[in-house]
Structure 1
């Protein structure tokens, strides 16, 4: 496996990470806006496509991160500990509170807590319907961990094949967008393909070819790739999202790169997971009651509550679990090095 062609200088790696944070901020703001605000006249039907675009970017970043991590360190146990510590505490806590309030049956608790609620016959609650994406994520974590456990790092070379199989299934069934894993996980796998390209798994030339792709044309096609009027372009959405992100990793984009690398974008990215978990719950009860002006006049309060809770959760509640997972991973690494040296 070739060395990372963009990782020769620490400054380049640092810029790449800031760039990815910028995309993470764009993805969460797109999803929140689509869920919480009217985006243009109703006849334009913009909310659904913008939410789909935001999730495509989010999944691309997830796939890129996960494959990059496993390329560097194929310790599957450490990987799962870090991922579960990142996802489970907040997700389970919020679910438990909402399910207790609503008195959900055991079947709904199990499906959501074990992250298969997005699969037929579906067990998603309307308050936590956005958890479908966590189900896709968690199922991918387990699948990629089992693959690497069985085959080592070379198992990651199955990622492109998996992406093509899922996209092929979407084409065969005419599924332009879905919450079911086997019709959606190609967006995560496309991010994994990007990681393989960036880290040199397909040779040193592939990243440089990626850098030459016209950026703004890719953006235009990506924005159109969630329109129901263009179903054929929907099948390319995973790869357009990965290409768009990948170009900015490889080269600066005038006017956009400073925004992606900004301090504000970095902060939003840092609290993005908590923003995603919390925001949907503010759309119900009194905050979500009413119609028209009455309903949307409360939206600033929804945003304020979401950001306040996300800030507290990220820097106080979630942090202790994440720190613990890092200690576990560090201890496993130290133990491995000791055994190797002996």
Structure 2
């Protein structure tokens, strides 16, 4: 299965949207564009994550141990290093570090500190990994029948509780399940009614994208409940999109690079909003001097981190994987995870 470079473009744009939401002024405050940009970035990031993870497990349902090894070596080392620096070295809060290590931070508001608030999303992702991994371990590919059921249950629960955007896993993980649905449809795109559905959705890319944008704004409260559904539509339609300027744009080499360091960008960037780089002083100096420095440092540290700490542990994970499980004849996933 070929590498889908367009997905690197989606990953890059999603992390850039999050960075912009946290580090830049996006229009007048009354327009609330920073909130919308962050919500859009996370929706795309979550959907892409669900798509890639589900693709891997669908193709290799017998390789659950390697799956958990890969995910752990990809996520944990950098997360724990960053969490220790901020929670312990800066704040001397071992309780916050414990919440990070146990992936309970998104349920423990008292432990969420400046510089750590973004880590709620890693908790949501890891809870998804555990659920989907154990589901496929127990039931094989039949376990994927639970994906649309869980997606619908969470959608109805959010509507019942009025949760348009929330950091609790049971009120947010449907954005990742949206990517799972896209992967299941894509894997079965050549069979019967799924082929027709796949192509029908594919014809409406710009409609779905417009609806996704609208569903990320707080003024569209009713539409916000369906943000995960629009994320599913956008990802599915993109995969069916004809070759043209959009696909060429998403394959841009700069996006491939940004996608490669995206996890580190996400983890490190709040560190450079603390201390002297915080919002003290005049707004002019803050936005013209401090924020450019913060953005520059974020990219430099992310590049170094990706090519040292993360690369070491990912290579270590591959070595452990070879010892734990022999190579599978099934195809590997088609994008970076």
Q: TM-score, normalised by structure 2?
A: 0.91
Structure-1 separation of matches of 2:40 and 2:107: 21
Conservation of the 8 A alpha-carbon contact between 1:210 and 1:243: no
| 1:275 is the counterpart of 2:262 | no
Root-mean-square deviation (Å) = 1.8
CA 1:227 to 1:103, structure 2 compared with 1: closer, same or farther past 3 Å? closer
Aligned partner (choices 284, 290, 307) of residue 293 of structure 1 = 284
Residue 240 in structure 1 maps to residue 233 in structure 2: no
Size of the alignment, in residue pairs? 324
* Stretch of structure 1 that moved more, 212-221 or 84-93: 212-221
2:86 paired residue number: 98
Partner SS state of residue 212, structure 1: helix
- How do 1:319-338 residues align onto structure 2 when only pairs under 5 Å count? 319-334=311-326
Residue of 142, 146, 155 corresponding to 1:167: 155
Of the structure 1 ranges 97-106 and 233-242, higher mean CA displacement relative to structure 2 is found in: 97-106
Counterparts of 2:51 and 2:284, CA distance in 1: 41
**CA shift for structure 1 position 186:** 0.2
TM-score, length-scaled by structure 1? 0.90
Task: Find the counterpart in structure 1 of residue 14 from structure 2.
Answer: 27
Residues 178-209 of structure 1 deviation map (CA, whole Å, 9 limit, x = unaligned): 11111100000010001100001894542453
Deviation of the 1:97 alpha carbon: 1.2
Where 1:115 maps in the other structure, the secondary structure is coil
2:325, 2:243 → 1: CA distance?
38
Deviations 1:289-336 (A, max 9, x none): 324111112211111111111111111221011112122323444278
- What are the superposed Cα offsets for residues 55-77 of structure 1, whole Å, 9 maximum, x if unpaired? 00000001001111111112221
Question: Do structure 1's residue 190 and structure 2's residue 178 form an aligned pair?
Answer: yes
* Other-structure match for 1:262: 252
What are the within-5 Å matches in structure 2 for residues 1-342 of structure 1?
A: 13-14=2-3, 17-74=4-61, 75-200=63-188, 203-213=191-201, 214-252=204-242, 254-288=244-278, 289-297=280-288, 298-334=290-326
Per-residue deviation, residues 134-169 of structure 1 (Å, max 9, x unmatched) = 010111111112212221221122111111111110
Shift of 1:126: 1.4
> 1:199–1:174: structure 2 CA closer, same or farther, 3 Å change rule?
same
Q: Deviations over 1:45-104 (max 9, x none)?
A: 110011001100000001001111111112221111100100011111011111222343
Q: Aligned equivalents of 1:251 and 1:152: distance in 2?
A: 31
Where do 5+ consecutive residues of structure 1 fail to align?
A: 1-9, 338-342
Asked if structure 2 preserves the Cα contact closer than 8 Å seen for 1:211 and 1:251, the reply is no
The whole-number CA distance in structure 2 between the counterparts of 1:173 and 1:156 is 26
Runs of 4+ in 1 over 4 A off after TM superposition: none
Q: Contact conserved, 2:65 with 2:325, CA < 8 A, in 1?
A: no
1:5 corresponds to which residue?
Answer: none
Structure 2: which 5+ residue stretches go unaligned? Answer: 330-337
Alpha-carbon deviation of 1:283?
Answer: 0.9
**How much has 1:108 moved relative to structure 2?**
1.7
